[in-house]
């Protein structure tokens, strides 16, 4: 599982990563125990496991939102465990897209504005090209009519699709999704998932998706199972 080719490093390379919370306090607990993991560009991976097994923690570490307590993490070949907040922030902006269970759209902004926020925050303005890109993304998500709607005026499935468009806005190589369909009914979940697969097919963006739903996990190319902070199983999905 080691990458030999330095010109084409793995997208994600975790070596023996551990995570402890509340270090030095009576409540100190190790949540991840020596997790090693490698994801290549263009993979479509499901992360499954029982509640409390550390999936969100692992995703937050991969998303540079939380520091790791031990081991090493290379993102696109670059060691990130020692970077300061400013560099991590920049890397998140360039390399990562996020979709969470609760959409986390900004309610005061329209769907289109939510999608262009990542561009706005870097340059202070949205260029016409970026605006066109955002509109095309929303249209791809089937939201051609909803540009000017506020999140409150959209259904749960539509809100989640706006969040996906936003995650794709800066064209990151990796999208991290934490139970993106956890809050949706089965039919809507299927629709959103179909959309994710279509995006993957069109753009070869890598996806790492945390899900509870075995039906959806089965629609991924690779399934990693986390139990009690350890990888129990990592392999090709039987469906593919």
CB of 233 to another protein, least distance (A): 26
Residue 20 interacting partner from another protein, ligand ADP, Mg ion, none (CB closer than 5 to 8 Å by kind): none
The size of the interface with ligand ADP (CB under 6 A), counted in residues, is 11
* Residue 131 in the binding site for another protein (CB under 8 A): no
- Rounded distance, CA 171 to CA 154, Å? 24
Q: How many residues does the chain have?
A: 240
86, burial (CB in 10 Å: exposed 0-12, middle 13-18, buried 19+): exposed
* Residue 57 in the binding site for Mg ion (CB under 5 A): no
- Rounded distance, CA 72 to CA 61, Å? 11
* Residue 2 in the binding site for ligand ADP (CB under 6 A): no
* Residue 53 in the binding site for Mg ion (CB under 5 A): no
Q: Which of 14, 56, 160, 222 binds ligand ADP (CB under 6 A)?
A: 56
Residue closer to another protein by CB (options 59, 223) is 59
- Rounded distance, CA 219 to CA 229, Å? 24
CB of 235 to another protein, least distance (A): 29
Give the sheet arrangement for strand 70-75, strand by strand.
29-39, 12-21, 70-75, 78-79
Residues of span 11-50 touching ligand ADP by CB under 6 A: 21-22, 31, 49
Contacts (Cβ under 8 Å, ≥6 apart) of 117: 106, 109, 166, 169
- Rounded distance, CA 167 to CA 96, Å? 8
Residue 56 CA: distances (Å) to CA of 130, 131, 149, 204: 31, 32, 30, 24
Residue 23 interacting partner from another protein, ligand ADP, Mg ion, none (CB closer than 5 to 8 Å by kind): none
Site string for Mg ion, 3-22 (x = CB under 5 A): --------------------
* Residue 130 in the binding site for ligand ADP (CB under 6 A): no
* Residue 54 in the binding site for ligand ADP (CB under 6 A): yes
Q: Which residues bind ligand ADP (CB under 6 A)?
A: 21-22, 31, 49, 51-57
């Amino acid at each position: 599982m080691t990458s030999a080719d330095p010109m084409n490093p793995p997208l994600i390379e975790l070596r023996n990563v551990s995570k402890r919370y509340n270090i030095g306090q009576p409540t100190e607990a190790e949540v991840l125990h020596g997790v090693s993991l490698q994801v290549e560009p263009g993979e479509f991976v499901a992360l499954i496991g029982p509640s409390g097994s550390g999936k969100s923690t692992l995703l937050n570490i991969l998303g540079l939102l939380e520091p790791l307590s031990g081991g090493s993490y290379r993102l696109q070949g670059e060691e990130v465990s020692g970077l300061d907040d400013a560099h991590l922030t920049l890397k998140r902006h360039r390399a990562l897209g996020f979709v969470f269970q609760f959409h986390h759209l900004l309610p005061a902004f329209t769907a289109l504005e939510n999608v262009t926020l990542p561009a706005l925050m870097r340059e202070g303005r949205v260029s016409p090209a970026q605006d066109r890109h955002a509109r095309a993304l929303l249209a791809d998500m089937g939201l051609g009519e909803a540009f000017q709607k506020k999140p409150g005026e959209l259904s749960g499935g539509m809100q989640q699709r706006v969040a996906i468009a936003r995650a794709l806005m800066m064209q990151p190589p990796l999208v991290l999704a934490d139970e993106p369909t956890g809050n949706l009914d089965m039919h809507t979940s299927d629709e959103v998932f179909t959309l994710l697969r279509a995006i993957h097919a069109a753009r070869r963006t890598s996806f790492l998706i945390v899900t509870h739903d075995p039906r959806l996990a089965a629609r991924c190319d690779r399934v990693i199972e986390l139990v009690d902070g350890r990888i129990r199983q990592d392999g090709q999905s039987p469906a593919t």
